[in-house]
Amino acid sequence: MKVFVLNCGSSSFKYQLLNMDTEELLAIGLVERIGLNDSVLAYEATGKEKVKEVSDIADHAQAIKMVLDKLVDAEVGVISKLEEISAIGHRAVHGADKFTKSVLVDDEVIAAMEECVPLAPLHNPANITGMKAMMDVLPGVPNVAVFDTAFHQTMPASSFIYALPYELYEEHKVRRYGFHGTSHYYVSNRAAEILGIEKDNFNCITCHMGNGSSFAAIKDGKCYDTTMGMTPLEGLVMGTRAGDVDGGLFKFLENNANMSIDDIDTMLNKKSGLLGISGISSDMRDIESAAAEGNERAQLAIDALMHRIVKYIGAFAALLGRVDAIIFTAGIGENAIELREEVMKRLTVFGIKGDSDKNNCRGKEQIISADDSAMTVMVVPTNEEITIGRDTKEIVAAL
């Protein structure tokens, strides 16, 4: 069964075509600047020449049609006709408490996602646009939504409730939801497999660190707590997002810095984090090289990130009681060797011992703690697309 996986943003999308019988990647790519001039379509079929085309692409449906044309292209294509695509799997960001697992997309699901728009005003409309465009371009082919929030729905109320008037939860659904659920689910399952531990008995802390970052405390294979909150802003120091801040900041900035709520929201989401502290970049590679050249604010950005990583791992270890593994994943987690080394050094209170040789790796499955470490620390590259492909296959096969 061939599944087209779509991760749709407001002016861009990433896609993959997967053969879900063998779990092989057939083609991968992205389209950027949709609706703007000079849109870019990137496409790469496994084992074939990369394609990059610049043109004006008006909307998502047009972009999808152009990608589908590539898939059946005589030279760079990987399928002979579009009917070979059995299903489409969508990354869906916010399902609030409406979805505890992946679902077949129908009018009701789209309406439920629309209800969640106030909780994810940038992401959900883009996801819905992608779903509607796929239905338009490939009518009759089933679409499945795989929610970032679904895995976190097992959190107990004591983890997800904010200490605010309870009516805000009842009337406005103000609570912690958590994100990156597909990644936390994938890497925790994979780690349990690698370690040969029964998934239902596996306790771990998954550390997803990319442009956006979140950790999850996973107890008996289920999410128990996570660092992101009602929106993807809470928690760690991220590329451009502040993570945890004092709610008192809002009034203070309004009174003293002449900032409106919109200004503050933009600042917290787009101008903070590594970028805000360093003033240089949101990209960890730029920050690391600036710090190596002696830039003090770049070093402070790394130190602040490190501080919060250690703080959350400590907190989650205390909540879990027993930790079978700490798992690093996503761009920073899979690649930042020195950062992982330093985090392991700072966790000696838990009897953690790193192994520098094993830790000297990027982007591959690897245990990076010493054999006599009290907790296993490992790298597991994330693969959200394969999880979306698997859920899609399972749902569509049962139709």
Least CB distance from residue 305 to ligand ADP, whole Å?
Answer: 10
Helix (H) or strand (E) holding 285: helix 284-292
**Whose Cβ is closer to ligand ADP: residue 210's or residue 229's?**
210
Of the candidate residues 145, 309, 326, 330, the single one contacting ligand ADP (CB under 6 A): 330
Of the candidate residues 5, 103, 317, 336, the single one contacting ligand ADP (CB under 6 A): 336
- Residue 98's identity, in one-letter code, is K
Rule CB under 6 A: say whether 341 interacts with ligand ADP: no
Are the C-beta atoms of residues 319 and 201 closer than 8 Å to each other?
Answer: no
Least CB distance from residue 14 to ligand ADP, whole Å?
Answer: 9
What 3-state class would DSSP assign to 85? strand
For the chain, the residue count is: 399
Q: What is the DSSP letter of 199?
A: G
Total residues contacting ligand ADP by CB under 6 A comes to: 13
**Whose Cβ is closer to ligand ADP: residue 234's or residue 288's?**
288
Least CB distance from residue 335 to ligand ADP, whole Å?
Answer: 3
Of the candidate residues 31, 41, 332, 367, the single one contacting ligand ADP (CB under 6 A): 332
What 3-state class would DSSP assign to 13? strand
Residues 277-296 that bind ligand ADP (CB under 6 A): 283-285, 288
CB-hemisphere CA count at 13 Å for 123?
A: 19
**Whose Cβ is closer to ligand ADP: residue 148's or residue 324's?**
148
- Both tokens of 293, joined, read 């050249």
Closest CA to 118 of 94, 148, 153: 94
Least CB distance from residue 297 to ligand ADP, whole Å?
Answer: 16
Closest CA to 101 of 393, 398, 391: 391
Q: Write the CB contacts of 164 (distance below 8 Å, at least 6 apart in sequence).
A: 174
Rule CB under 6 A: say whether 77 interacts with ligand ADP: no
Rule CB under 6 A: say whether 303 interacts with ligand ADP: no
Least CB distance from residue 180 to ligand ADP, whole Å?
Answer: 9
Walk across the sheet containing 222-226 and list its strands.
222-226, 213-219, 204-209, 325-329, 376-379, 366-367
Rule CB under 6 A: say whether 331 interacts with ligand ADP: yes
Least CB distance from residue 161 to ligand ADP, whole Å?
Answer: 27
Residue with tokens 């492909």: 389
C-alpha separations of 193 from 89, 181, 229 in Å: 24, 18, 29
Least CB distance from residue 95 to ligand ADP, whole Å?
Answer: 19
**Whose Cβ is closer to ligand ADP: residue 284's or residue 370's?**
284
C-alpha span between 306 and 300 (Å, rounded): 10
Stretch that binds ligand ADP, among 85-93, 205-213, 228-236, 247-255 (CB under 6 A): 205-213
Q: What is the DSSP letter of 154?
A: G
Active site residues per annotation:
148
Rule CB under 6 A: say whether 335 interacts with ligand ADP: yes
- Both tokens of 40, joined, read 């870019």
Are the C-beta atoms of residues 186 and 383 closer than 8 Å to each other?
Answer: yes
Stretch that binds ligand ADP, among 128-136, 146-154, 210-218, 365-373 (CB under 6 A): 210-218
**Whose Cβ is closer to ligand ADP: residue 330's or residue 370's?**
330
Angle at 336 between CA 333 and CA 338, to 5 degrees: 125
Q: What is the DSSP letter of 369?
A: B
Least CB distance from residue 292 to ligand ADP, whole Å?
Answer: 12
Are the C-beta atoms of residues 206 and 152 closer than 8 Å to each other?
Answer: no
Residue span 211-250 as binding mask against ligand ADP, x where in contact by CB under 6 A, dash where not: xx--------------------------x-----------
Stretch that binds ligand ADP, among 104-112, 139-147, 330-338, 386-394 (CB under 6 A): 330-338
Closest CA to 359 of 373, 377, 374, 347: 377
Stretch that binds ligand ADP, among 48-56, 149-157, 190-198, 327-335 (CB under 6 A): 327-335
- Residue 77's identity, in one-letter code, is G
**Residues forming the site for ligand ADP (CB under 6 A):** 210-212, 239, 283-285, 288, 330-332, 335-336
